[in-house]
Structure 1
């Protein structure tokens, strides 16, 4: 009995340490990456996910009070805004990949297909459509007590839990991977078949494509495994030891799910020369001074 109690306490300590130091590391990296990204007014979805997802975890670990378990409105908003912004961010990467494919197409008419107006309309459609699919989270996420009398922010309706899991599997995992992979590889193929090939551009795009796909795959896999495990363990009676095991499992895959939203900036910075130059120009702009030109006047006598 004592061994079981000790193992339970040890697992809870591991889960707390993973979340505390893992979230802190991701938070610091996210802050470093978010500053120049904010200056460029991009990656807004990832930044929102980063703040709504990691910040409550940090507050809970360092203060000992989980705001999601204390305030029901925060519980609902975290699983609506957090998941919604993360989903929108992933699909905006897909829209960016579509735009790159059109810009590298041999058909000149496709180069100007996505105008500013169309880009805004497509972005609004993505936001409204996917937030609509995630809106049931505002209704079905609620507070409940687990077997060790701890308040949790979960879905207790079985039908809503199944919908939430498989909805996330499709819109947060399968669709982003398929869309991003397809258009990224088509863009890479367009560059390879151009009349004038640029080796440096191909290498840069190849690095960016595989980095994006890897990060999306990691984030999606972490999310799906965590959600499927939660769905599987919902109807299984658990004791303190089982709860501790669940905490370790959820801690690891929670951090994996936040990788793409924390390291998006670093992926673009180290993979794309254009993006890197744009960022560096924000901080290291050289002042261009116009030097007056003087023409020597020869005295003629």
Structure 2
């Protein structure tokens, strides 16, 4: 627990600090720069950034201080307890709602009807952000009313039993199904409108570079939700029962045998689907870089959809043994494991190969092939000057590749502890005389991979900087403006004084004579 504490302290502080700087810079670009300030979607993105910053201030910093000081920072005072609970939920609702509105605004801008394209004006966007803040504050009031500092252990907890059961459900509904549904629907509608060339010309988005980059920012944030459906299923099946067990005497994972089997099966399916869909993404980029035109044209959008469905079906079949051999440990209902020893060893080796070895290996091979193909493409590009459309397509492919390779790197780093832990579990399963310290270390190794702290609120600025060249230029313009303003404030100019002495002019030239 000491190691977990220090990891939480340092990683939590780091993410909170880096995320806060990024959010402040993002907000400055969207609010102060004229290019973005004139767009309605930039107003919504600025509101979303503001909400994300409230989440970091009300949760990331207090959590890290709690672990650092061994004292419940939320329980310092009643005001601190209530305000952090209120700001955390209100900030999250504001961030997500503004993101919904930004996606809706982009959809309206791609519609055929001119009245729909002109409906979302800048003043209406500001009014909607203001109303969103008011409504989010209103629905967050119960989180402040029913949370208080308990007298027995000086901790900040919900004092109303009914609301205590309802709060995790509200967090789950607001944070999982609503973003996936709304962002997926409007993202698909926008993509469908932009797919038609005549519609792109009618709306002007084909030639409006700034609008295209704002669309790309919104779609990047949408993909954090929509493209990770198996991951959402995995987190929902893994976390919601644990939240429920915190407020009820019995854990359904350890008390209901059918739930024990279902949870293990669904978790296995969703985890493997996440890994192999990412592998298919690497294979897609690898095929796209091929010099053979027939190979490049093989993997179309429809083919990719079929492959994604096929991957999901395959991983519904492979972990079927979890439904058959997973059972609750009796007596005492102390756990849910694979009770058959031979099947348990097979499962560990199966996960080690299919989940920890093959995916990184295939990704590495595809990355090496992509790198080689890009070098060859650059050599050909020196001899042949590409057209404007080809340059635009190459830029788009490079951005997709950078995003994909970043995901691959994150996956490999996160998969190494998982693979090592599964290998260790498979090799030591038959060891019966494990000490208490050893069991504690094994439990810590299983729990430490669940540290998913504030990744999404801290990543908005960096994803925007990654995908938008205009955003980076406007950010540098802000830095230059700040430096110039600072230099102007530090120096003042003296007047020219001239006198006549002996028919000669004595002058004091205009120069910097001091600092304010």
TM-score by length of 2: 0.45
**Out of 17, 22, 25, which is 1:36 matched to?**
25
Matches for 1:101-250 after TM superposition, within 5 Å: 101-144=107-150, 150-195=153-198, 196=201, 198=206, 208=217, 211-216=220-225, 221=232, 226=239, 229-236=242-249
Give the aligned partner of residue 96 of structure 2: 90
Partners of 2:6 and 2:68 within 8 A in 1: no
3-state SS of the aligned residue for 2:157? strand
Q: How far apart, in 2, do the equivalents of 1:65 and 1:78 lie?
A: 16
Compute the displacement of 1:263 (Å).
0.8
- How many positions carry a matched residue from both structures? 267
> Secondary structure, in 3 states, of the residue corresponding to 2:156?
strand
Structure 1 SS opposite 2:249: coil
1:68 paired with 2:57, answer no
**Which whole-Å CA distance do the structure 1 matches of 2:80 and 2:445 have between them?**
23
Q: Secondary structure at the match of 2:197?
A: coil
Structure whose CA Rg is larger: 2
Q: Partner of 2:120: helix, strand, or coil?
A: coil
Distance 1:247 1:141 in 2: 30
Displacement, 1:17? 2.5
Q: Any conservation in 2 of the 1:204–1:271 contact (CA below 8 Å)?
A: yes
In the superposition, the TM-score normalised over structure 1's length comes to: 0.73
Counterpart CA distance in 1 for 2:162 and 2:467 is 43
* Cα RMSD (Å): 3.8
**Mapped partners of 2:156, 2:240: distance in 1:** 14
Residues 205, 125 of structure 1: CA spacing in aligned structure 2 closer, same or farther, 3 A cutoff?
Answer: closer
Give the secondary-structure state (helix, strand or coil) at the position aligned to 1:236.
coil
Partner of 1:279: 475
What displacement does 1:284 show?
4.7
For the Cα contact (< 8 Å) 1:18–1:252, is it kept in 2?
A: no
Work out which structure has the larger RCO, using CA pairs closer than 8 Å and 6 or more positions apart in sequence.
1
Q: Residue by residue, what CA displacement relative to the aligned partner does 1:75-134 show, whole Å, maximum 9, x if unpaired?
A: 111111112111111110111111111112222222211123322332233222233222
Pair 121,33 (structure 1): closer, same or farther in 2 beyond 3 Å? same
Deviations 1:237-268 (A, max 9, x none): 99xxxxxx999999876x63522211111111
Partner secondary structure for residue 142 of structure 1? strand
Alignment of 1:12-31 (within 5 A): 12-31=1-20
